[in-house]
């Protein structure tokens, strides 16, 4: 029996998951997103979360913009990734947004660095394995960020329009691990 190295298993798994997410984005994404956002709202309210780390969605990811609008009205502090080199730092969510590398939107450059506690981090996933660790797009940005900031993050929530799950371990010990996973 041939043993396939974990890196190759992870690449194949990621490719299959991206195909699943593309299909999930084509049909019923509004309804799927609404279900995920309702669950996120419940968690945020239950936790009394004041500081929230979010992402600005790509086409295949859960659209968080309605949640962002609601949380802004509730005067919660919202932070989003601002890419720097091979990782990112968090900046306050504010307008205007610009489209950067990989089609990711970000607020304009900001020197604001926050090193306060984040109550909840909402992270998009491509897939995950039975260790509840994240498979993302393969750039490692979230992994590098969490390696430095994990001590400042209360709860980590993975979201996706469809759950792509591997019953084999395809992730590494440094991959981000979830406290909660929300899919429609």
Q: How many residues does the chain have?
A: 184
pLDDT tens string 29-55: 999 999 999 999 999 999 999 999 999
Residue 180, pLDDT > 70, answer yes
Residue 44 confidence (pLDDT) = 97
String of b and e for 43-64 (b: at least 16 CB within 10 Å)?
bbeeeebebbbbbbbeebbbbb
Decide if 177 contacts 133 (C-beta within 8 A).
yes
User: Does the pLDDT of residue 110 top 80, yes or no?
Assistant: no
Q: Is the pLDDT of residue 91 over 90?
A: no
Q: Can you list the domains of the chain with their CATH numbers?
A: 6-182 (3.40.50.10420)
The whole-number average pLDDT for the span 159-164 is 96
Mean pLDDT, residues 84-106 = 73
- Neighbouring CB atoms inside 10 A of 12's CB total 13
What is the arithmetic mean of pLDDT over 160-184?
93
Highest mean pLDDT among 55-69, 77-91, 103-117: 55-69
Separation CA 117–CA 133 (nearest Å): 22
Average pLDDT for residues 45-66, to the nearest whole number? 94
pLDDT band, very low/low/confident/very high, at 112 (cuts 50, 70, 90) = low
User: 9-13, 34-38, 91-95: lowest mean pLDDT where?
Assistant: 91-95
DSSP-assigned states of every residue in the chain? -PPPPHHHHHHHHHHHHHHHHHHHHHSSHHHHHHHHHHHHHHHHHHHT--EEE-----TTS---HHHHHHHHHTT-EEEEEEEETTEEEEEE--SPEEE-GGG-EEESP------SPEEEEEEE-SEEETT-BEE-SSS-HHHHHHHHHGGGEEEEEEE-SS--EESS--S-TTS-B-SEEE--
**Ranges 17-26, 83-92, 153-162: which has the least confidence:** 83-92
Rounded to an integer, the average pLDDT of 137-144 is 87
User: Which pLDDT value is given to residue 53?
Assistant: 94
Residue 1 has pLDDT above 70, yes or no: no
Least confident of 18-22, 49-53, 82-86, 113-117: 113-117
């Amino acid at each position: 029996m041939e043993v396939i190295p974990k890196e190759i298993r992870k690449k194949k798994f990621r490719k299959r998951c991206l195909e699943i997410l593309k299909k999930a984005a084509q049909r019923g994404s509004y309804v799927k997103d609404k279900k995920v956002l309702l669950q996120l709202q419940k968690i945020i309210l239950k936790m009394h979360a004041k500081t929230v780390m979010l992402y600005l969605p790509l086409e295949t990811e859960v659209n968080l913009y309605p949640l962002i609008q609601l949380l802004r009205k509730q005067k919660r502090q919202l932070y989003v990734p601002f890419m720097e080199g091979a990782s990112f730092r968090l900046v306050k969510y504010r307008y205007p947004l610009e489209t950067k590398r990989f089609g990711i939107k970000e607020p304009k450059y900001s020197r604001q660095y926050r090193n306060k506690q984040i109550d909840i981090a909402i992270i998009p996933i491509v897939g995950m394995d039975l260790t509840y660790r994240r498979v993302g797009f393969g750039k490692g940005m979230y992994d590098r960020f969490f390696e430095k900031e994990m001590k400042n993050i209360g709860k980590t929530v993975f979201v996706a329009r469809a759950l792509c799950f591997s019953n084999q371990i395809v992730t590494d010990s440094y991959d981000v691990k979830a406290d909660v996973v929300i899919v429609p």
